Amino acid sequence: MEAYCVKCRTKREINDPQPVFTDNATPATRGVCPECGTTLFRMGKTPAHEGLPVPKKGANRKGKLVIVESPAKARTVGRFLGKGYTVKASVGHVRDLLRSQLSVDVENNFTPKYRVPNAKRPVVKEIQALAKTHAEIYLATDPDREGEAIAWHLLESAKIDPKLTQRVVFHEITEPAINEAFAHTRGIDMDLVNAQQARRVLDRLVGYNLSPLLWRKVRSRLSAGRVQSVALRLVVEREREIDAFVPVEYWSIAAELRPQGLKESFIAKLARINGEDPVLGNEAEVKPVLVDMEQAAYTISRIKRGERRRKPSAPFTTSTLQQEASRRLGYTARRTMALAQQLYEGIDLGEGSVGLITYMRTDSTNVSEIAQAEARQFITERYGEKFLPPEPPRYTAKAKGAQEAHEAVRPTGVVRQPDLIKEFLNRDQFRLYQVIWQRFVASQMEAAVFDTLSVEVTGAGASEYLLRASGSTVKFPGFMIVYEEAKDEDRAPEEEEENARIPAGIAEGQAQRLVRLLPEQHFTQPPPRYTEASLVRTLEEYGIGRPSTYAPIMSTIQARGYVIREAKRLTPTETG
Q: Which helix (H) or strand (E) holds 231?
A: helix 228-244
Helix (H, G, I), strand (E, B) or coil at 244: helix
Q: How far is CA 23 from the centre of its chain?
A: 45
Identify whether the C-beta of residue 349 lies closer than 8 Å to the C-beta of residue 79. no
The catalytic residue among 138, 298, 344, 359 is 359
Tell me the C-alpha distance between 455 and 505, whole Å: 12
User: Distance between CA 532 and CA 554 in Å, rounded?
Assistant: 7
Strand partners, 255: 268, 517
Give burial (CB, 10 Å; 0-12/13-18/19+) of 117.
middle
Contact present, 462 and 370 (Cβ < 8 Å): no
Q: Is 304 exposed, middle or buried (0-12, 13-18, 19+ CB in 10 A)?
A: exposed
Distance CA 138, CA 150 (A): 13
Contact (CB, 8 A) for 244 and 527: no
550 is annotated as an active-site residue: no
CA–CA gap between residue 204 and residue 102 (Å, rounded): 7
Backbone angles phi, psi at 115, to 5 degrees: -150, 140
The residues pairing with 43 across neighbouring beta strands, listed in sequence order, are: 28
CA-based Rg of the chain, rounded to a whole angstrom?
Answer: 34
Active site residues: 359
